[in-house]
Amino acid sequence: MTAPLGGPAAEQLTVAVAIGERLVKEAVWSGERCNWVGAEPVDLRDRVGALTYRALGPNLYVGSSGVALFLAQLAATTGQDELRPTALAAMRHAISRRDDVSSAARLGFYSGWAGMAATALRIGRLLDSSELVDAGSGLLHDLAQQLHGMAEGGGQERDLMSGVTEGGEQEYDLMSGVAGSVPAFALAYRCTGDERMAEAAVTAALWLGRSARKSRTGWSWRSPGLRNQHDLTGLSHGAAGVAVAFLEAYRLTGEEMFATGARNAMRYEDRWLDVGEGNWPDFRENTADRRARTFVTLWCHGAPGIALSRLYAYKLLGEARWRHDAMTALATTERVTRPLTNGGGADFSLCHGLAGNAEPFEEAREVLGAVGTVIPRLGADAVGMDIPRLVADHGLERYARTGVSWPCGTHTAETPNLMLGLAGIGYFYLRLAVPQVPSALLPVRWDR
């Protein structure tokens, strides 16, 4: 339980608690499980955003796992034990619906079993539930078997360059693919000491290396489920997410080849960095003009998510290039986000809204040791560190204090889930009030 808070942090925590209590009240129960009904995309990869309204599925992105994560973290942080039963019941629901996740997405962190298992482990530790620790471990053991079958097809040499396979139809990314399994397996190893989990993390990272498209300008990966102009950049579906997976493998093993893999993934992205935009292009095909170069500034695509990857790279590798990239991405995120805190209607979600855009500034504060409200930008302009506070104050004034519905990532009605909805908005306020709460958007320190 956190010590009593004062000032802005107290009001931020009050918002998080109010959202948590609302989610508890709105849960639909069946025995020892519970769930919610909400809007979600028909296809997580669909830029247009066709929606359906139904009971939440099991995954972390728009499912009951994500709501469970927020409620468990809120309960552990505030000591409000009345939140605990709902958090546990929501995670039980997610585990019971594991087979609803397609086999193609199971390795993904936000769409698949990997994130569900990591969430079960996280909640199990937060709420002292051996039931969920065992459930998360079991899910990852099953996932390791799927990964082992994939690895056999491309050879199992401990070499990122051997047995190149081009990846077949298996997704590679952090959201839905192999990259998402690496932080989950690494977390399981740190939580349980099970060497099989460490080996599975290494196997996944090796697969990523073997399936990369390699050139003198870096490594990239083909997305079988998307129509692209070029291989994607960005954290959720692009090379930045793979870089984070390689960095986790490097952190776990100390093997330099994984650091080299991360550098190559980030080098590919930097090939496309537009200095004028201060951003990396979104190469998902633009249906209006297939040759048009599109830039967005969101956690899922563009500068905010790439900032998180570069901050983590700088933290682990200590190389100035990645700090420079991070500062470029933060400056762009500030430029785009600041005006949105002065108006109304801006999406507030973690995935592609204001809460997600605020997250890299919180990470920068920890990684770069920012003092006050600015980080010196390598002798150039300072990057403002007040974005999280501005976003929080905007939400307080326009939504929390007035009772107006929160603008969620569905672009329609409120929804309860983590990455598009209320649980994620609550998580943003909780993390801002208590920075020791680990990021939900860079899932690499969930063991603390």
What is the pTM assigned to this prediction? 0.94
SS3 374: strand
Task: Provide the 8-state DSSP code for 398.
Answer: I
Which helix (H) or strand (E) is 51 found in, with range?
Answer: strand 51-55
| Dihedral sign (CA 199, 183, 365, 72) | negative
- If pLDDT is split at 50, 70 and 90, which confidence band does 4 have? low
| Dihedral sign (CA 70, 89, 110, 132) | positive
Write the pLDDT tens digit of every residue in 367-426: 987 544 456 554 444 577 899 999 999 999 999 999 999 999 987 779 999 999 999 999
Calculate the CA 237 to chain-centre distance: 11
Write the pLDDT tens digit of every residue in 22-60: 999 999 999 999 999 998 767 655 545 677 889 999 999
Write the pLDDT tens digit of every residue in 275-298: 999 999 999 877 666 667 899 999
Average pLDDT estimate for 53-77: 96
pLDDT at 379: 40
Write the pLDDT tens digit of every residue in 303-331: 999 999 999 999 999 999 999 999 999 99
Pull the structure tokens for residue 287.
């249906």
* Weakest-pLDDT range from 47-61, 173-187, 334-348: 47-61
The yes-or-no verdict on residue 267 having pLDDT over 50 is yes
Q: 433: how many CB neighbours lie within 10 A of its CB?
A: 24
pLDDT at 58: 98
The yes-or-no verdict on residue 70 having pLDDT over 50 is yes
